Structure 1
Amino acid sequence: MKKGVLLLNLGTPDDVKVNSVRRYLREFLTDPRVIDLPFLARYILVFCAILPFRPFKTAKAYRKIWKEDSPLRIFTLKTKKLLSKQLDDSYHVEYAMRYGAPSIASIVSKFQNCDELTILPLFPQYSSAATGSAIEKTLKEVGKLWNIPNIKVISQFYNDDGFIHASTQHIQNHIKDQETFILFSYHGLPERHIKKSGCTLMCSGSKQCPKISDKNTWCYRAQCYATTRLISDKLALKPDTFMTSFQSRLGKTPWIQPYTDHVLQELRQKGVKNLTIVSPSFVADCLETLEELAIQLKEEWIALGGTSCTVIPCLNTNTLWINALSAMIKKGGIMAESLNDRCVGAQV
């Protein structure tokens, strides 16, 4: 049996030119799962308020971190190659980006002769904006195949044992000062996305989310807190030595809190001097980790009077992480299901 594996990441521009960044942002921001407003409102916001200005700022940020290619594409490709070596010859592994290259449409045809396809978005915590969009687009493209394989989807792995173990060991290996305060900074989401997920608890402000239950199963914020809880327990951290926060908010609409940049000020007011930042919502370094955290937030911390700020790299090509990926794929994942009927529907 030939088994296909498709690793999905968010995306990246082709290069750091403003036009390339604008093209990438246009594809990204016009996705109704990302900016979930009525079409006309989304169109006006993106084409009148964002695209005329934002690409210049974003291109400048990309130039600070760009190597021979986008770090996100580099690390995702390396992950694909390492995973291919980890799995046996019955597996065919590919990767694609939800936005940008390589596109999902350009890769799916490579699974034409597979009997089974595992779709694995590389986002530990589920969100409709990232995970949901990537899965929806993939199913649409798979639905165009003449031979549609059995399909499994791993839609979340925020509490996967292998992921937690790899993350814990990775953090331990990078902690330079045992007296440091650890900030778990996750990518943010508009609060309305949490409401749409069906969460009936709707925790606000800096209040921690309770453990996952049938009341918050698909709540992104609750899954982030669950990841922090599992890692901090493994690290045996004291309650007053770590915190969870959310970064990368855009616009004036309310986003989930507490905000990472606001937390920095609060920590300084409490006398914290040495800070370590880790972002378990990303498994590959990208603009949000390399520029927003490792450059912007680090500079802000020092400007606030902090003594040191260490930003721990993402798992990237960590051996334990590759092992965890392999194990998830072999066991079918936490949330695996047969989706053939959906694909057939997408084809009609």
Structure 2
Amino acid sequence: MVAKSDTAIILMNLGSPDSTAVPDVKKYLLEFLMDKRVIDYPWLMRKLLVGGVIVPKRAERSAEAYKSIWWEEGSPLIVLTKQLQKALQHDLEIPVEITMRYGTPSPAETFDKLMKEHPGLKDVILVPLYPHYAMSSYETAAEYAKEIHRKKRYPFELRIVDPFYKHPDYIHAMAESMRPYLEKEYDHLLFSYHGIPARHLRKGDVTGGHCLKVNDCCHVDSKAHSQCYRHQVTVTTELVARELGIPREKWSISFQSRLGREEWIRPYTDHLFQELPAQGKKKLLVVCPAFVSDCLETLEEIAVEGKHSFISSGGDSFVMIPCMNTHPVWVKALGNLCREKMEAVTV
């Protein structure tokens, strides 16, 4: 039991359906896809598209996908986030709670729980568990938490940890979690990140003229990089590859989880699974650094569907490197991120 405290940590992850039942999956998909930062169409258009087309078509298929990866304890993402909470609690002397952007526990539920247990609470450090800035991930998590905090007029200060895509401790943790998998022979290492519509990059470009407009824009210095997902995943990949000593010709970046028919940032992961064997890259490693906890997008989309596609296309071996989950180096890195934010509060 953690003693009464005036400071607390909240780890904020994506969320999950409450069960694999179709009604629960529908409820989750509606909340997720109706988020204006995920599908940024006008409300009525979004309502018609999500409620009338996407969810009715995807709910049963998504429920089956969740069933294929569901653990006895529940949703892998929720279980792993709770395990991370417990591991971090051992490293810190202040309360550590979790919340989800979609589903339960909601930010309001977590804020209320903290206030009940720690009525003298003054500061809450919120850690969105997204290393990279994107409108549909980090931004929606941070802004939603701020909105709930403001509307319900909680007395504590809400302080949010910035994206940590190039933080040395995060890079080191990523590298160490991957290192054992590089000891066996492989032809290629694919860094597969969650995709976003190309339109989101342009919309989030604070300069209005850099992202996807300047040649090699991710490597040309710009204020746009502070909110550019593509730039940030590129930096993460290059730093991790450098720390692990992986030759440039042995790795590449791709983007998964497309939705709809519009252009998303390329190259597409599912296309590469079909193309790499023909290029002689038949022993494949795949890592998904956009996720700190394994979830549907890693356990089913990559480890099951992706593997089947790659092997069916002529590949010989396929290994998905697990997310950092509760790797001790990651737990230490997360603790350091929280301490840095707490120290900034006292300055």
Give the alignment's TM-score, normalised by structure 1.
0.91
Q: Which of 258-267 and 295-304 deviates more? A: 258-267
Q: In 1, distance between residues paired with 2:149 and 2:247?
A: 47
Q: Which amino acid aligns with 1:15?
A: S
- Aligned match for 2:277, one of 264, 268, 276: 268
Q: Is the 8 A contact 1:111 1:117 kept in 2?
A: no
Aligned pairs for 1:179-328 within 5 A: 179-198=186-205, 200-203=209-212, 209-210=218-219, 213-328=222-337
Which 4+ stretches in 1 moved above 4 angstroms? 144-147
1:55 and 2:59 equivalent?
yes
Does the 8 A contact of 2:126 with 2:161 survive in 1?
yes
Alignment partner of 1:79 is 2:84: yes
Amino acid at match of 1:117: V
TM-score of the pair, normalised by structure 2: 0.91
Aligned to 1:4, what secondary structure does the other structure show? Answer: strand
CA offsets 1:209-268 (integer angstroms, 9 cap, x no match): 316642322100110111001000111111110000000001101111110011223322
Count of equivalent residues: 334
Deviation at 1:83, TM superposition (A): 0.7
5+ residue gaps in structure 1? 339-348
Question: In 2 relative to 1, CA 12–147 (structure 1 residues): closer, same or farther, beyond 3 Å?
Answer: closer
User: Counterparts of 2:217 and 2:272 in 1: how far apart (Å)?
Assistant: 14
Matched position secondary structure for 2:51? helix
1:34 aligns with 2:38: yes
Matched, 1:103 2:110: no
Do the aligned partners of 1:2 and 1:92 also contact (CA within 8 Å) in 2? no
Which residue in 2 is equivalent to 1:67? 71
CA distance in 2, matches of 1:58, 1:147: 36
Q: Deviations over 1:111-165 (max 9, x none)?
A: 3331111111000101111111111221122224555223321130111111110
SS in 1 for 2:226: coil
Query: CA–CA distance in 1 between the matches of 2:345 and 2:211?
Result: 28
Report the aligned-residue RMSD. Answer: 2.1
Query: In structure 1, what is the Cα distance between the partners aligned to 2:342 and 2:235?
Result: 18
Per the TM alignment, residue 179 of structure 1 is displaced from its structure 2 partner at its CA by: 3.5
Q: SS in structure 2 opposite 1:253? A: coil
For 2:217 and 2:171, the matched residues in 1 are separated by 19
Q: Report the Cα distance in structure 2 between the residues aligned to 1:107 and 1:184, rounded to whole angstroms.
A: 33
Task: Give me the whole-angstrom Cα distance separating, in 2, the residues matched to 1:4 and 1:41.
Answer: 40
Please, which runs of 5 or more residues in structure 2 have no aligned partner? none
Contact 1:212 1:223 in 2 (8 A): no
Q: Tell which deviates more after alignment, 145-154 or 164-173.
A: 145-154
Could you give the per-residue CA deviations for residues 27-64 of structure 1, whole angstroms, max 9, x where no partner exists? 11111111100111101100111121210010010011
CA distance in 2, matches of 1:235, 1:212: 25
More helix by share: 2
Give the % identical residues. Answer: 38
Which of 14, 19, 27 lines up with 2:18 in the alignment? 14
Q: Say which SS state the counterpart of residue 285 (structure 2) adopts.
A: strand
Q: Is the contact made by 1:211 and 1:222 (CA closer than 8 Å) also made in structure 2?
A: no
Give 1:141's aligned residue. Answer: 148
Q: Contact between 1:212 and 1:226, CA under 8 Å: does it hold in 2? A: no
Letter matched to residue 79 of structure 2: I
> C-alpha separation between the residues in 2 aligned to 1:85 and 1:55?
38
Query: 1:149-164 counterparts in 2 under 5 A?
Result: 149-164=156-171
